[in-house]
Structure 1
Amino acid sequence: MASDIDSATWRRVDAYLSALLVGEDPALDAAVAAQRAAGLPAIEVAPVNGKFLHLIARISGARRILEIGTLGGYSAIWLARALPDDGLVISIEAEPANARLARANLDRAGLGGRVQIREGRALDVLPTLSGEAPFDLVFIDADKESNAAYLDWAARLGRPGTVVIVDNIGRGGAVADPTNSRPDVVGTRQGLEVLARDPRFEATALQTLDAKGYDGFAVAVVV
């Protein structure tokens, strides 16, 4: 039974899948090492999830990608690698030090020309993108308290068919506990309620067990 699987087992499976399907990658490994050296929290996506983002971007034929939450650029590397030569990732990062580190990581990976990092609070930066070409894929991985607002902007800045991915929706199981009033949990639930009720979206969500623990992500399409 799944309930009998202990953490050592699923971590072993994750390590096996990562080694088999992702493998060693000097640019990604260097990005993670730089993040650790800079003291950034280990909250970048797990390797298997990074490749998931990469494949979704390729499958969707994305040419313009919006990322909300850059951190050290790990997921931006995965997304940028999925783009055609004239494609673009616009990634929003609130912390200038993180943005500087991400730019260095992207340049080291040879992808600096495909990624623009816009510095500032996402809710201040997102309105400045109005009027630009619509995004084909939006990846939301920032403060969970603002997920509902980020989803609203994803719909505004996208088009019918835009893919939207929201990370960290499981919150270690807390998302399904109505008595949990932590701001990140409440914000996550509010985002999921937008996906369930807003007619601009068709969505589902999956639980995950990977190197980052027990969590999940939502996948939606703008309709």
Structure 2
Amino acid sequence: MTQDQWTAVDRYFTELLAPADETLAATLADSSAAGLPEIAVAPNQGKLLNLLVSMCGARSVLEIGTLGGYSTIWMARALPADGRMISLEYNPAHADVARANIARAGLEKVVEVRTGAALDTLPRLETEGAGPFDFVFIDADKVNNPNYVAWALKLSRPGTVVVVDNVVRGGAILDAETDDPAITGTRAMFELVSREPRLDATAFQTVGVKAYDGLLLARVVA
């Protein structure tokens, strides 16, 4: 199969099961116009996050890596009326775009976007007693994936679901000799998860409009 076929299949699924609305379309358009990298999750992946949040009955969500708020909006829409979400974004300009997109979606009272390095912000969440979160989505700098998973555990409870994006790296995850920090960080994350008795996890490969990649899906069991 080819990239064109993967993209066509994704579009078919999206048109039937996750059609764009004006808010989501505007979120992508405004993010692009502001110069943000076009690396948001695909629409069917956004719908997957929405369904996962809903299926696990989450009332609180932590997102590490906001970008323009596209995935944020998908997840926040699955929360109940009294739900809450905190999203962490390193880049202040990206955070401003995300806040505007979230406000247009009518979710500004549900979602708080915090700016700064996540490894600085996460300890503050712990100090504030912001957790435990019911659902954690990690989609930020890959070199820190093991640190983000470790913090997800600290801010979780038994039953919390953790999802990590971009874990296949086009198959480069197999390269044990690489010095690419995105790959070494992701491999270290897999090793951490494999040794961690509090996590029950799997990972799977995906193809589609985002090309060849994959997700890690884990549940906190203790």
TM > 0.5 fold call: yes
Give the counterpart letter for 1:207 in structure 2. Q
Give the counterpart letter for 2:18 in structure 1. V
Deviation readout 1:109-152 (Å, 9 max, x if unpaired): 11111100111100000001112331000000000000000000
In structure 1, list runs of 5 or more residues that go unmatched: none
Mapping for residues 169-208 of structure 1, pairs under 5 Å: 169-208=167-206
Q: Would you say the 8 A contact 2:3–2:208 is kept in 1?
A: no
TM-score, structure 2 normalization: 0.97
| CA distance in structure 1 between the partners assigned to 2:108 and 2:208 by the alignment | 28
| CA distance in structure 2 between the partners assigned to 1:90 and 1:155 by the alignment | 16
Q: 1:39 aligns with which of 23, 35, 39?
A: 35
Q: 2:120 aligns with which of 99, 104, 124?
A: 124
Q: 1:36 Cα shift?
A: 0.5
Where does residue 78 of structure 1 map in the other structure?
74
1:99 aligns with 2:101: no
| CA distance in structure 2 between the partners assigned to 1:71 and 1:82 by the alignment | 19
Where does residue 51 of structure 1 map in the other structure?
47
Q: 2:11 aligns with which of 11, 15, 40?
A: 15
Count of residues in correspondence between the two structures:
219
SS of 1:104's partner is helix
1:210 aligns with 2:208: yes
Give the counterpart letter for 1:151 in structure 2. V
Q: 1:68 aligns with which of 64, 80, 90?
A: 64
1:137 aligns with 2:135: yes
Q: Would you say the 8 A contact 2:69–2:99 is kept in 1?
A: yes
With 25-34 and 15-24 compared, the bigger mean Cα shift is at 15-24
Q: Would you say the 8 A contact 2:6–2:211 is kept in 1?
A: no
Where does residue 219 of structure 2 map in the other structure?
221
Give the counterpart letter for 2:99 in structure 1. R
Supply the RMSD in Å over aligned alpha carbons.
Answer: 0.8
| CA distance in structure 2 between the partners assigned to 1:133 and 1:172 by the alignment | 34
Where does residue 148 of structure 2 map in the other structure?
150
SS of 1:138's partner is strand
Q: Would you say the 8 A contact 2:89–2:116 is kept in 1?
A: yes
Where does residue 83 of structure 2 map in the other structure?
87
Give the counterpart letter for 2:174 in structure 1. A
SS of 1:40's partner is coil
- Percent identity among equivalent residues? 54
Deviation readout 1:37-83 (Å, 9 max, x if unpaired): 01110111010000000000000000010000000000000010000
With 192-201 and 161-170 compared, the bigger mean Cα shift is at 192-201
TM-score, structure 1 normalization: 0.96
